[in-house]
Structure 1
Amino acid sequence: MFIKRVYIKLIFILAMLEPLTGSAKSTHKIITDEPKTITISTPKLSMVLNYNNKASVTSLVINGKKVISSANGIYTSIKAGGITYSSLHLKSNPMLIKTADSYKIDGISYGDKDLTINESWTFIKKDKSIKWLIERKLSKQVKVDEAAMPVFNFDDINTWNGAYQGYGGLAWFYLFNEPLCTYGVHTRSSSFWNSKNGIGLNITVDAPGKEVAMKYTRTNENKLAYTVTVSNQEMLPHTDSGTNRRRFIRKATDVWSAFNIPAGKSSQSLTFSYFDYNDKYGRGKLAGINGDQVNAVLSTIARIGVIDSLHFGGNSWHTPYGPVCLHEQYIAQLGLGINDPNYLKGYKSCLDFYRDHAIKPDGRVYPRWAYTNEDAMPGEFNKYGFYEAQWGILVDSNPDFVTNVAELYDMTGDKAWVKTHQLSCEKALDWILKRDSNNNGLVEMMTDNQAQKQSSDWIDIIWASYENAFVNANLYHALVKWADIENQLNNHTKAQYYENFAAKLKTSFNKSTSQGGFWDDENKCYIHWRDKDQTIHGRNMVTPVNFMAIAYDICDDDSRKKLILDNIENQMQKENLFFWPLAMTSYAPGEGKDWQWPFPGYENGDLFLSWGAVGVKAYASYNPALAVKYVKNVLDRYSKDGLAFQRYGRLKQDGLGDDILSGNSLSIVGLYQAIYGVNPLYNRFYLDPHITPELEGTALKYNFRDQRLTVNLDNDSYAVSNQRFKVICNKNFGFNATKNQLSYFNGSNPVASLQITTDKPLTISVSQWSNVKMEWQQTATKPSAKALTYLIKQLKPNANYIVSINGKAVQKVKSDDKGDISITHRISGASEKMSIGYGN
């Protein structure tokens, strides 16, 4: 007791002397109060820090909701040599130093005679956030089993629904279905959210020059332990022997391998900030459909194929196998429904990684990556975990890689980024285009006939061989998408080559089987494949093949579309199926792995939801009510079982398989893309709706190029707006807006038809647009003193036009050699009708 009084007195004297030693301006204040707790608060965040013989955050409250309330709530630790050292057990009492805007806990010392860890913690309130700086010094280099900088112990595994990762992935705690489930990822931020109470907590780590990893564990007490680790090198998955890239483990917490921490100083900071889940991730008003279910599916299931920051796919991270299929053309498309800029940014990094490590020198794209090599062909894998599947050379990975690059470019508009993929995409396409040995426009697989019992596409235990309609449909889609990008990158020669190949492919694809094509006149559908001996296989209305033919505009024969879609729907009604199966009837014996017979079984007739987007798109323009019906069916099934399966059985329509595919969300993605008509493109937001009467009144909130758009869908009246500009039209159109310029794109035209430059908010309602007459109503809520500048493009070249305001001609103008005219006009009232007509 005597020693403690002397110590306190000495501190008091030092504090009194501080101004006399050159620190007259210091605002530091040393606190020695009992019980040695402080509360740090912002309007939405509050934490209690305990520094009484330990250092820990014992309470964390988010917008009035307590999420941490224990003595070991948040603390730092190191585990080395089987011994855990932590800030919960200190060598001596730390000190609190308070300034005007910060709290610093100094003298946090723990360890033993062999290893000493000294830390100081500084908490700084900044605007609405709290920044926590952790400075650490080790007495020597040490190999550690774990290092928490820090670990959070949330009160319950159900405190949060999940945590979005900085790259767009998801730690979904629904899948932590037993104690000691652990998931590890490489990210610098984690956004925890609870959909019921709407609270969100973002934690961002700043550690310049360092690698950051995070792990999430359901503890034995059913709490959620969230651990941040900072290291000099990338954290590697833990392995006892053999190859292991596993990110999710059960009955253990050591998801990461041991690593070295050097002696000396290190530092990092964590920033805590609150967000309202509904404001940030809300999707607006979804009329005629369950918006909460739509949001739930796109916020969770759509993301679970993102295994880690550089591994995006369709199979979820929680399985022991954890594969990524590069032969899936819809991974970028998932981003359209997820609608999170972090997903798009993260997938760019992922595709960069695939470009650099998953493409062989000859252009062949490895189709898969997994936690282990057990699914690989013997010897057909590389050190990064990419491999050829044991089932066959899955040729669709080549066009699918290109499609994902192209569609991600459409969503981001990042031309510099897509340029870095030009050579690799050309190489991937050229590899597969060389496989047209007979020059008929249809590329050939690595096998000649089904007797070789090797697959060639996503349906990987059906022995599709030689000329495969599934792969050729994917290739056509990739060629069309990539040819457009080649033109944008000014490689018109290459673009023409791809366009010509696509045209030839399309012609051959649509020929009857007797003429060397894929159309089966007898069964009124496109077949799956033909063997080299010209025998025809997969005549059983394989739905992905036939849906892709329609959705990708390969089939432009309306009578064929009607036959396919009506026949499928007739069979759906006979069996009362809630979703489209992979094939409407059975493959013939010998066309696939034999345990799938009798029909239906697995890929021979079961229901795989991953083909929902192409199915919805195929029906959208033909009969949107049918497309909406199956979207609703999927949502209804979600309400019953969470879509927590790989597939559904044909006979009982029961969930089967030990995986949850992110593709289970693709019908809902199709709702956005084909029914609502939401299509982000490289230079515009393109809206092409096919809504039904029950969906009228929908008002979507949608993120596009750092803007929060509102998309209004009513009967024959559609609108897109940001906070400044709005376009209304009764048909499909494109929208783009910068600070002072509004662009309207007529129909699907990639060139802006009208550009208006103004410093004030403006709404235009387009009623007519052709190169003969353009007419729109314009409304300025805040009239500008400056004249507006109008640029109208793609009119008749060198032609005279009359400008009219409210039906009165006011100006005659002449288009230039390109068919463009430019005029200026000051809006005189709040609203007026403007028209430009061709004439003398």
Structure 2
Amino acid sequence: MHLKPIFTIIALLALNLTAYAETEDIVIQDKTKSVTLSVPGKKLSLVIDYGAGCMVRQLLVNGVETLSKSGAYTGIKTGDSIFNSTSSRQVKLSRKSDGITLSNITYGGGAMMVNETWDFAIAGDQIHWNITRNYSNSARVQEVAFPKWNFAGLDVWKGGILDNGGMVWCKYLKGNNDTYGVHTGGVTFWNDKSGNGLRIAPPKGKENFSTKFSNENNAFTCTQQLSPVALKQQHNLSRFVAGKADVFAPFMVEAGTVSATFSLQYVDYFKEYSRGTLPGIDAGAVRELMNTTGRYGVVDNNIIGANGWLTNWKCLHEPFFSQIGMALNDMNYTANMAATLDQERDLAMKPDGRVLSRWHNAPGDEIPGTYNPETGYYEAMWGYTIDSQPGYVINTSEQFDLSGDLQWLRSHKSACEKALDWLISRDANQNGIFEMMNNNIAEKKASDWLDIVWASYENSFVNAQMFEALNLWANCEDVLGDRDKAAYYRAVAAKLKTAFNKPVEEGGFWSAKKKQYVYWRDNDGSIHGDNLVTPVNFAAIAFGICDDKERIAQLLDQIEQHTASEDLFHWPLCFDSFTQAEVSPGNWPFPKYENGDIFPTWGYLGIRAYTQYDKSIALKYINKLLLQYKKDGLSSQRYSRTTQLGLGDDILAGICTSITALYRDIYGIRPKWNRMGIEPNLSQHLNGTQFSYRLRDTLYQIKLNVDDYSLATDRFMIKSKQSFGANNNGNLTNIYPQNREDLILQIEANSNSQLKCNLGKSSPEGLAWTVASEGTYNFRLKGLLTKTQYQLIIDNRKTLVTPDSNGNIAFSHTCKGLSSFEIAKVL
């Protein structure tokens, strides 16, 4: 029997079947001159017309059409003339194994002609669209569509997450030609009802992409541009302009060829942006709040703020931008935050260390002569808001914990020292409290975030923030190896703490009569702001400048009694009225604006304060805030004290900070520059909380129960009843009991298998742990007392050991099952 012909036939059939499988997602219709490209599973499909013009006619995302009849196309705008690929008539199609090529796409007029080639390729779950464009001549253009996407309406997507950490919120492109433009090319659009998402990613490493998002007759458009240099704004420094499509200024293109490849991908939004399993918390509301309000403060590259892109504003005197990045857990936001602080160091800091307080797109809000039209930085017209000094330092310190970039931190060392020293030098009477630049209420000037309240001279709110900044920066000085500077700033902080807590009669801020910290003292010694100002009193507790348990109880019980009696969903700025002489007339009659309205921006201070005192109260206001988000999107500047309805033209991204505090202070997410740390403060009904968290290049799986915490990667799984931190480098795992660096347990494995370790109680006297994974391990404990005997117990076998001159002990052990270890100082 001759089997070869049979095998040949079978092989040919198999080849034909394979060829069919490779081409079933590419369908060419010669009669209609259209091509349909689909990824396997058809989560994403494109229909491209190339007969009567060349365009992407349909973009189906999980079977849902997203484009308007205008589709997507490429083009240019020169002056009043608009040319695009839909006018091209002699397009040529060629077939490839993984896609198609469309060439001879020509359009233009006058002195400028464009010839393009579109190359589409299916690569896994993505469709790559390469656009190669040849300009016939150099010319000044108003705009290039590279390409332009015309979506069917403003409700196709809720918004788009940008690859600088920000977002475009479709509902705020309310009027025709309302336009938002940013200097980045990547975006992930999402629909919060279906969970469908579309990611458009530009090529990595390609510079000078920009994107504008517009309302064009109630269609939502996204125009991506590739330019030779970074585009400038057309209207002052505005990233958002109402009723005008020309957000970017005209620019030159050069004769010749440019090219870029965009990757299109379906995204399961609910899965990719999942917040995990959060018992007792509305995880969906957390996701949406952080992806809208939390990201909205990103105005553009190098400008992360809280007022955001609609009003083109950023206040540098806000200390919580890096903390928002911790909760967002988006490496793009983190990178942009580093660049933002770089720009502020270089452009917003004066030679003497004064940090300018604001950025805006246009003059009009500044102290005369302080606005820089090239950079946008200036001093606010309401007064010198001094909290920009600690704000810069706090954000820099917390940003470093996220990035772990020592070189970056070193580049900010001098600037942070100058910022701190500038305010330290203002302690003219050497009492340990730092004075503002205004002296008394008669000047009618502000000195902090509450910019139409005339807080003057010795301001407790700014000084509480300064205490936090001094301690955080001292930690950074330690990391940088400058022990003298670290000790100096800690000593300054200690002196401030002592002075701050003195009774008002002795020059401090504590009012025993009112059982609260007062807001400020004028230079004549008069006391102001004893009307229970919440951010002042919360800051004192949250930043640890007040650690007196009796005072904490008096304050927090008092605030809760007031808040509950009015059934407020969040804390107001103050509970009683300032006097008329202490505030701008716009704050009258009480409660109005900064004299009594609800500003959730400072919620994280309240959550942090209550977490250590009564977690149930902290959780109550977290859940109330999430419920409010579901009602109105939390896209307001503030809320009326009387109606609890949103007010103000601004949207303040800081409204999300109660949720950042959920992550930091309840779930205990405490990244450090050299490790991932967790310091939870859970209640029983949060048991079973679990989610993923990416820090730098490592994805951590976190599981939390009361007194039962787990942190896992592919290299280790560590459990503990106490706070801890950990990192991994190859086969070496570093464990930091209580998430501190004074005692470190290092475990080096002899294989690539996952280390399973249960960390027991740690104390200055010793540490206990177990290892449940099999293998031979090298153990090293660092930070023990020298010249001191310890008892090492391994599986109940006891040995006396003495640390070396560096406080280290090392030993090896082969674990064949569950092995227990303990090191304890011999008393």
> Do they superpose with TM above 0.5?
yes
**SS of structure 1 residue aligned to 2:670:** strand
2:507 maps to: 516
- 2:221 maps to 225
Q: Does structure 2 conserve the Cα–Cα contact (< 8 Å) formed by 1:447 and 1:454?
A: yes
* 2:785 matched residue in structure 1: 796
Amino acid in the other structure paired with 2:85: S
Q: Structure 1 pair 113/315, CA: closer, same or farther in 2 (3 Å)?
A: closer
**Structure 1 residue 63: deviation in Å?**
3.6
Aligned positions of 1:152-551 closer than 5 A: 152-206=149-203, 210-220=207-217, 222-239=218-235, 244-319=236-311, 322-382=312-372, 383-551=374-542
Describe the shift of the 1:550–1:808 C-alpha distance in structure 2 as closer, same or farther (beyond 3 A). Answer: same
Structure 2 counterpart of 1:45? 44
TM-score by length of 1: 0.91
- Counterpart in the other structure of 1:62: 61
User: In terms of mean alpha carbon deviation, does 51-60 or 341-350 score higher?
Assistant: 51-60
Who is 2:31 aligned against? 34
**Aligned twin of 2:741:** 750
Give the distance between the partners of 1:264 and 1:803, measured in 2 at CA. Answer: 73
Deviation at 1:136, TM superposition (A): 1.4
Query: How far, CA to CA, are the matches of 1:227 and 1:323 in structure 2?
Result: 24
Match status 1:88 vs 2:86: yes
Asked if structure 2 preserves the Cα contact closer than 8 Å seen for 1:167 and 1:347, the reply is no
Q: Which moved more, 1:259-268 or 1:653-662?
A: 259-268
Indicate which of 804, 812, 821 corresponds to 1:824.
812
Counterpart amino acid of residue 779 in structure 1 = A
Please give the secondary structure, in 1, of the residue aligned with 2:367.
strand
In the TM superposition, 1:526-675 aligns within 5 A as 526-675=517-666
The answer for the alignment partner of 2:16 in structure 1 is none
- How far apart, in 2, do the equivalents of 1:86 and 1:116 lie? 11
Query: Any stretches of 5+ residues in structure 2 without a counterpart?
Result: 1-27
Instruction: Call closer, same or farther: CA 1:772–1:428 in 2, change over 3 Å.
Output: closer
How many Å apart are 1:471 and its aligned residue?
1.0
Structure 1 counterpart of 2:230, one-letter code: E
Within 1, Cα distance between the matches of 2:209 and 2:333? 18
Amino acid of the structure 2 residue aligned with 1:45: L
* Superposed CA offset, 1:407-463 (max 9, x none): 110111111111111111112112111111111111111111110001000000011
Residue deviations 1:534-553 (CA, integer Å, cap 9, x gap): 11111111111111111111
Name which of structure 1's ranges 389-398 and 742-751 shifts more when overlaid on structure 2: 742-751
Q: What amino acid maps onto 1:316 in structure 2?
A: G
1-structure distance, mates of 2:93, 2:742: 63
* Structure-1 separation of matches of 2:664 and 2:384: 31
Secondary structure in 2 aligned to 1:88?
Answer: helix
Shift of 1:33: 3.6
Paired residues, what number?
A: 795
CA distance in 2 between counterparts of 1:445 and 1:292 reads 43
The equivalent residue for 2:772 is 779
The match for 2:682 among 681, 687, 691 is: 691
Check 1:347–1:412 CA distance in 2 against 1; reply closer, same or farther (3 A cut).
Answer: same
Secondary structure of the structure 1 residue equivalent to 2:346: helix
Equivalent position amino acid for 2:803 in 1: S
* TM-superposed deviation, 1:288: 1.0
- Following superposition, the deviation at residue 480 of structure 1 comes to 0.7
The 3 A distance-change label for structure 1 pair 363 and 836 is closer
Deviation, 1:701, is 2.1
Q: Report the Cα offset of residue 505 of structure 1.
A: 1.0
Mapped to 2, the partners of 1:345 and 1:207 lie a distance apart of 15
CA distance in 2, matches of 1:396, 1:231: 39
Residue identity matched to 2:357: P
Does the C-alpha gap of structure 1 residues 65 and 823 become closer, same or farther in structure 2, counting only changes over 3 Å? Answer: farther
Give the 3 Å change call, closer, same or farther, for CA 771–448 of structure 1 in structure 2. Answer: closer
AA aligned opposite 1:777: T
CA contact (8 A) 1:302 1:662 kept: yes
Q: CA deviation at 1:752?
A: 5.2
Q: 1:739 to 1:60 in 2, by over 3 A?
A: farther
Residue identity matched to 1:49: I
- Give the C-alpha shift of residue 324 in structure 1: 0.3
- Mapped partners of 1:604, 1:839: distance in 2: 60
Contact 2:692-2:700 at 8 Å conserved across structures: yes
Q: Distance in 2 between matches of 1:86 and 1:701?
A: 44
Instruction: For residue 289 of structure 1, give the secondary structure of its aligned residue in structure 2.
Output: coil
Deviations 1:524-580 (A, max 9, x none): 111111111111111111111111111111012111111111111111122222211
Q: Give, in whole Å, the separation in 2 of the partners of 1:565 and 1:247.
A: 41
- Which residue matches 1:74? 72
- Tell me which amino acid in the other structure corresponds to 2:65: K
Letter in 1 for 2:297: G
1:776-820 residue CA offsets vs partner (Å, 9 max, x unmatched): 23222xx34xx11111122232444454444344x6544212221
Instruction: Look up the equivalent residue of 2:581 and give its one-letter code.
Output: G
- The structure 1 segments of at least 4 consecutive aligned residues displaced by more than 6 Å after TM superposition are none
User: 1:697-776 to 2 correspondence within 5 Å?
Assistant: 697-751=688-742, 753-758=744-749, 759-776=752-769
The residue type paired with residue 762 of structure 1 is: L
Counterpart position of 1:103: 100
Q: Could you tell me which amino acid in structure 1 is paired with residue 360 of structure 2?
A: A
Whole-Å separation in 2 of the counterparts to 1:735 and 1:64: 44
Secondary structure of the corresponding residue to residue 767 of structure 1 = strand
Q: Is the 8 A contact 1:771 1:796 kept in 2?
A: no
Rounded Cα–Cα distance in structure 1 between residues aligned with 2:740 and 2:186: 39
What per-residue deviation string (whole Å, max 9, x for no partner) do you get for residues 713-734 of structure 1? Answer: 2122122222331221112222
Q: Is the 8 A contact 1:32 1:96 kept in 2?
A: no
Residue 822 (structure 2) aligns with: 835
Once the two structures are superposed, what CA deviation does each residue of 1:568-616 show, in whole Å capped at 9, x if it has no partner? 1111122222211111211122011123122111111111001100100
> What fraction of aligned residue pairs are identical, expressed as a percent?
39
- The reply on whether 1:815 has 2:803 as its aligned counterpart is yes
> What SS does structure 2 have at the residue aligned with 1:377?
coil
Structure 1 Cα separation of the partners of residues 822 and 29 of structure 2: 77
Q: In 2 relative to 1, CA 599–104 (structure 1 residues): closer, same or farther, beyond 3 Å?
A: same
CA positional deviation for 1:514: 1.0
Query: In structure 1, what is the Cα distance between the partners aligned to 2:668 and 2:260?
Result: 45
Could you list the per-position Cα deviations for residues 167-207 of structure 1 after superposition, in whole angstroms to 9, with x for gaps in the alignment?
10011113233443221101131122223333332222238
Q: Residues 774 and 502 (structure 1 numbering): CA distance in 2 closer, same or farther, change over 3 Å?
A: closer
- Counterpart of 1:266, as a letter, is V
Query: In structure 1, what residue type is equivalent to 2:806?
Result: K
The answer as to whether partners of 1:207 and 1:268 remain within 8 angstroms in 2 is no
1:304-345 deviations in Å (ceiling 9; x for gaps): 1111111111112123xx210000011111112111111101
Q: Deviation per CA, 1:247-281, whole angstroms, max 9, x where unpaired?
A: 12233322112222222222222122333223322
The separation in 2 between residues aligned to 1:317 and 1:647, in whole angstroms, is: 17
Structure 1 unmatched ranges of 5 or more: 1-30
**Quick one: distance in 2 between partners of 1:97 and 1:87?**
18
Counterpart code for 1:821: I
Quick one: distance in 2 between partners of 1:268 and 1:495? Answer: 49
Q: Which has the higher mean CA deviation after the structures are superposed, 497-506 or 123-132?
A: 123-132
Where 1:826 maps in the other structure, the secondary structure is strand
